[in-house]
Amino acid sequence: MEYSELNIKLPEETKEVEFNGKIIQVKQFLPTEKKNSLVQLALQQSEEDNILYNPILLDVYTNVYIIFFYTDLEFKDVDKTDPLEIVNLFDEMFTSGLMEAVIGAIPENEYNDLIYYRNAYKEANETQKTTASYIINSFLNQLPGQLEQLSTTIENFDPNQFKEVIDFARAANGGRDIPKDEEYLPQD
């Protein structure tokens, strides 16, 4: 028998939530691909210094993206790439009770799985990104770009600009020459 003969389909059930006199459809299941997207987006947006996650922003983005992914609400006037707008949206959703109503309508195991995936991925990322091999690889991956930038700086070096710096330093030193480092070294 072929698997396709089983006629298995993903659940598409929704639960209606009434909020401020409007009906919001809340999905009861989100496919794994979309869960992964939600988790990845929340982690990317809350990452700081390419190593750690800001816990406040992680909570903000996770919860706002839950509303984006699990409901039929449209956000045409929201710039989803603007962090300040997302934070303000979170505050509105949280203080108005919308977030609690939507999350309360998602089955507990569905919500818990989502948070588990997010936390597991976050922990794995943080562990991996603090290993010596990751740090060395990151350095080596950035090295070509840094060398190219250094090469451009050297090619565009203007000795006249350096002379202006020396002249300024000399003027600031009362017109006297600036001592060279060798003058401070012990003489044999």
CA distance 53 to 126: 8
How much of the chain is in helix, strand and coil states, percent to nearest 5? 65, 10, 25
Check residue 23 and give its pLDDT.
98
Dihedrals phi, psi of 80, to nearest 5 degrees: -70, -5
- Is the overall model pTM greater than 0.85, yes or no? no
Instruction: Return the percentage of the chain with pLDDT > 70, whole number.
Output: 82
For residues 70 and 30, is the Cβ–Cβ distance under 8 A? yes
Please compute the mean of the pLDDT values over residues 52-60 and round it to a whole number: 94
CA distance 101 to 106: 9
Task: Write out pLDDT tens, residues 13-43.
Answer: 999 999 999 999 999 999 999 999 999 999 9
Show Cβ contacts of residue 79 under 8 Å, excluding neighbours closer than 6 positions: 85
Dihedrals phi, psi of 109, to nearest 5 degrees: -65, -35
Paired sense of beta strands 47-48 and 52-53, if any: antiparallel
User: In this predicted model, which residue has the larger pLDDT, 5 or 149?
Assistant: 5
Q: Residue 118: which of 43, 25, 183 has the closest Cα?
A: 43
Task: Write out pLDDT tens, residues 94-149.
Answer: 999 999 999 999 999 999 999 999 999 999 988 876 665 666 766 667 767 776 77
Domain assignments of the chain as residue spans, ordered by start: 3-130, 138-177
CA distance 157 to 31: 56
Check residue 187 and give its pLDDT.
57
**Count of CB atoms situated within 10 Å of the CB of 60:** 23
